[in-house]
Amino acid sequence: MTKTPDWVKNAVFYQIFPDRFAKSPATVKGQWQASNYEGWDATPTLQGYKGGNLWGVIDKLDYLEDLGINAIYFTPIFQSASNHRYHTHDYYQVDPILGGNVAFDALLKAAHSKNIKVVLDGVFNHASRGFYFFNDILENGPYSPWLDWFKIHGWPLSAYDGDKPANYDGWIDNRALPEFNHDNPQVKEYIMQIAEYWLYQGIDGWRLDVPNEVDTPGFWQEFRDRVKAVNPEAYIVGEIWGDASQWLDGTQFDGVMNYRFTEATIAFAGGENYNPEYCQGELKPYPPISGTEYAIKIESLLMQYDWEIQLTQLNLLDSHDTPRMLTTVGEDKDSFMLSTVLLMTFPGAPSIFYGDEVALPGGKDPDSRRVFPQPEQWDVEVLRDHKKLIALRHQYPALRTGKYKTLYATEHLYVFARMLDEEEVIVAVNISSEQATGSFPVKELKFKPSNPVYGSGRLTWHDDAREMLEIAVPARSSVIVA
């Protein structure tokens, strides 16, 4: 029987790109201080550093707690020669710019004191040219003792000259990211021990970068066994953009980044406001779809995986790998907030990309990775609504683990219920520029909720048995009834 971490089912995640979220002076002596940073508020570049650090995150924990966040997913934090840190140099050292292992230990203690879980990004498909074992090959060529840690095809190694073909395997042919040879038992053991080490340090789980690229038989099954042996409640979530069935069989991951939910939700709630120029990679939330089509896509998605897995999917509207949703819909706040309502009421753990809650815009990378804005730049209405929706999710267990049932769907109006024991919550979303109304039988609900707790709209139960529901939702808005 599949078992996934209970805490994830009750989590609201906040994704942090450490270089851009917050920075604060080091609180301990001996911390290296880099000096060549881009201006904090300057337009971000692909290679420039802003100097965000974990001391800054510690300073922001009160803000996150007030928002209602109880889990953080960090993009990579280990020593690296890139601002995004997907080019790992040392898996046992937190990057000195971030404050090193001392800062991370302080962060873990501070976060856990507020009951905030911490999940790290595990980049285990590839390392970097600066990774010790590969660097030895660069220095010693065919005499290196570490040749079988990677997939080398010729000499001399062409690690930097773009005019020559790379003669070793790199992720998506990027010579800066040499791929591990996972068939080498030493490599596999090395990665397993990294995973165990940071769990022993106190992290609460791993987000796995491009795990579909690792095709060594049994690798992720052993990874799960080793991780769960250290902490049975550790979360394992994979970056899989499409059908994740082969990884969500109960023997590997607890969930994946649910981009299939993202795609359908933006196509419905974003509709014609979505600019197809922002379609990127495997994520294509275009063309627009109706409420009826959305219902079909969502029902199909919910039937695809075991319910225990559905409750620990990581649901999102955008991430460091996509343009920010607010920008993709022409900064139409209605589209953005209708999508957020659907995010916060869907089975699985919702994840907010840092700054979305204050309406931070951003196009394609690196623009999507802007710094977290100053308070005077926040959209206070968007922040207020995020707080309300997160609070409702925490207040009503049905919104976290209750069964999901579509009640009614037309071109512009989508209505569904979340049901858990004696608790029932109805959610209605109207994407039309005019008021939408519907009248339909509802036999699945026993307690007939009628108290609006978010948004505006009219809900009326008809007939003696109260099995006919009439609902009216104003233009471009939503209502949640409990």
State the DSSP H helix or E strand holding residue 191, giving kind and residue range, or none if neither. helix 185-201
Q: Is there a contact between 180 and 170 (Cβ–Cβ < 8 Å)?
A: no
- Rounded to 5°, the CA angle 309-5-126 comes to 80
CA distance 357 to 46: 24
CA distance 187 to 193: 10
Q: Which residues pair with 472 in a beta bridge?
A: 437, 458
Phi, psi of 21 (to 5 degrees): -90, -55
**Among 121, 209, 321, 385, which one carries the catalytic annotation?**
209
Q: Is 381 known to be catalytic?
A: no
**Among 95, 121, 239, 263, which one carries the catalytic annotation?**
239
Contacts of 317 (CB under 8 A, 6+ apart): 262, 265, 266, 325, 336, 339, 340, 343, 353, 356
Q: Is 209 known to be catalytic?
A: yes
The pairing of beta strand 458-462 with beta strand 468-473: antiparallel
Best CA proximity match to 253, nearest among 231, 228, 229: 228
Structure tokens given for 369: 């990775």
Burial 247-272 (b: 16+ CB within 10 A, else e): bbeeebbbbbbbbbbbbbbbbbbbbe
CA distance 126 to 323: 24
DSSP 212: G
- Tokens 């998605």 locate to 301
- Rounded to 5°, the CA angle 343-16-400 comes to 30
Which residues have a catalytic role annotated?
209, 239
